[in-house]
A = this chain, B = another copy of it.
Amino acid sequence: MTTTAATRQITYGEAEREALREEMRRDPNVIIMGEDIAGAAGRQAQGFTDAWGGPFGSTKGLIQEFGAERVRDTPISEAGFIGAAVGAAATGMRPVADLMFIDFMGCCLDQIMNNAAKMRYMFGGKSKMPLTIMTRIGAGVGSAAQHSETLYSMLTHLPGLKVVAPSDAYTAKGLLISAIRDDDPVIVCDHKRLLGRRGPVPEEPYTWPIGKARILKPGKDVTLVGISLMTTVCLDAAAALAKDGVDAEVVDLLSLSPMDDEAVLTSVRKTQRLVVVDEDTPRCSLATDIAALVADEAFDFLAAPVKRVNAPHTPVPFSRALEQAYMPTPQKVVDTVKGIMG
């Protein structure tokens, strides 16, 4: 973690690309693999290269610096290439596998769950799994039910995996570097609607520790816990609440597994009220996880019911109006907070 004052503003996506580039320079074992992460695969000789740079451009330019051996386009075979990344990680590489959308994890979950997550334990601690999986989450871009899910709750459920969800360009770079350097498998969940947002990012490599949340706005009346894009929803809600004299503290979770229990508990012990804002569907979600933590370990401090604002228990609808209604919004958070301010 660094505290260098950074004035340069780049997008979340650019910050990730920078993280990848810096780590690939630093360690020859770092490789990247995924569908269209460069593009026009195999056509360098015909003058085509790097046609896509990933579906959102996060890997653009890397093949030009590092070549097709280390920046590997793959066929559409998620179990095959993510499983191959697992095998490469078990044998000494430090692969970054790109799963285009988290909605596709059903195509490769066995490799993630039964191999990547469990090998170290099953082998009695005698192996490492320095694997990073980058994937995109979230609704709000009109992509309908199979390209808009959040789903990190399902991965957080699984022992052996680490799961992070940056909320801006700064944490995107720091967490991705941490993920790549980590000897455990880390899933990095990037919200599509954050990729284009700009923020200050130091040029030199730095890490944001996996397992550490941050307080984005201190407050004393209620704790809002946000994850990924929802952190910005919390900030907007906090601004609106401030006008009504409610001083909300915003906790940006960042790491879902391991989770910074202490940051959440400390905040709630102070504010005595909690609203978790989570874009994932509600059942067995991060929101219930945090609510349960607090209802156990901060129970005596609570002055009001523990509240959650999630997407509803439905697939993501296509129609704009419905998709709008699907998303947690600052207004829903404000209304929820008001309901417990007594």
Residues of A within 8 A of B (CB): 103-114, 117-118, 121-122, 144-146, 151, 153-154, 156-160, 257, 259, 280-281, 283-289, 291-297, 299-300, 302, 304-308, 312-315, 317-318
* Distance A64 CA – B126 CA, assembled complex (angstroms): 49
CB <8 Å contact, B306 and A295: yes
| B300 close to A305 (CB less than 8 A) | yes
> Which of B106, B285, B291 sits near A295, CB closer than 8 Å?
B291
Check if A114 sits within 8 Å of B106, measured CB to CB: yes
**A315 close to B117 (CB less than 8 A):** yes
Bound: A291/B295 CA distance, A? 7
Assuming the A-B contacts A122-B315, A305-B300, are A288 and B283 also in contact, with contact meaning beta carbons closer than 8 angstroms in the complex?
no
Q: Which of A109, A284, A293, A314 has the most chain B CB atoms closer than 10 A to its own CB? A: A284
Q: Which B residues are in CB contact (< 8 Å) with A105?
A: 109
Interface centre among A117, A288, A314 (most CB of B within 10 A): A288
Q: Is the CB of A288 within 8 A of B284?
A: yes
Q: Shortest Cβ distance from A83 into chain B, in angstroms?
A: 11
List the B residue with the shortest CB-CB distance to A157: B284
The verdict on A283 contacting B257 (CB below 8 Å), with A145-B118, A288-B289 known, is yes
With a CB–CB cut-off of 8 A, which chain B residues contact A294? 295
Given A104-B110, A292-B287, A292-B288, CB of A306 within 8 Å of CB of B299: yes
Q: Within the assembled complex, what's the spacing in Å between the Cα atoms of A111 and B292?
A: 31
Q: In the bound complex, how far is the Cα of B314 from the Cα of A297, in angstroms?
A: 21
Residue of B110, B122, B145 touching A106 (CB-CB under 8 A): B110
> Within the complex, which residue of B111, B284, B287 is in contact with A156, where a contact is CB–CB below 8 Å?
B284
Asked if B109 and A281 sit within 8 Å, CB to CB, the answer is no
Least CB distance, A106 to chain B, in whole angstroms: 3
CA distance A111 to B105 in the complex (A): 11
Given A144-B122, A288-B292, A297-B305, CB of A154 within 8 Å of CB of B154: yes
Chain B: which residue is nearest A308 at the CB level?
A: B292
Please tell me if the beta carbons of B121 and A315 are within 8 angstroms of each other in the complex.
yes
Partner of A157, one of B111, B285, B305: B285
Check if B284 sits within 8 Å of A284, measured CB to CB. yes
CB-CB nearest in chain B for A153: B284
Which of A103, A118, A156 has the most B CB atoms < 10 Å from its CB? Answer: A118
Query: In the complex, are the beta carbons of B145 and A121 less than 8 A apart?
Result: yes
A110 proximity list for chain B (CB < 8 A): 104, 106-107
A106:B117 contact, CB within 8 angstroms: no
Min C-beta distance of A210 to chain B, whole Å: 15
Q: Which of B112, B296, B317 contacts A121 (CB 8 A)?
A: B317
Q: Which residue of B lies closest to A314 (CB)?
A: B159
B305, A295: Cβ atoms under 8 Å? yes
- The reply to whether B118 and A114 form a contact with Cβ atoms under 8 Å apart is no
Query: Measured between C-beta atoms, what is the minimum distance from A320 to chain B in Å?
Result: 16
Q: Which residues of B contact A111 (CB under 8 A)?
A: 106
Contact (Cβ within 8 A) B159 A121: no
Bound-complex Cα distance A306 to B286 (A) = 17
**Contacting pair A307 B315 (CB below 8 A):** no
CA distance A110 to B105 in the complex (A): 7
In the assembled complex, 13 residue pairs joining A and B whose CB atoms fall closer than 8 Å, in A order, are: A106-B106, A106-B110, A118-B145, A121-B317, A158-B281, A159-B313, A284-B289, A288-B289, A288-B291, A291-B292, A292-B306, A295-B305, A296-B305
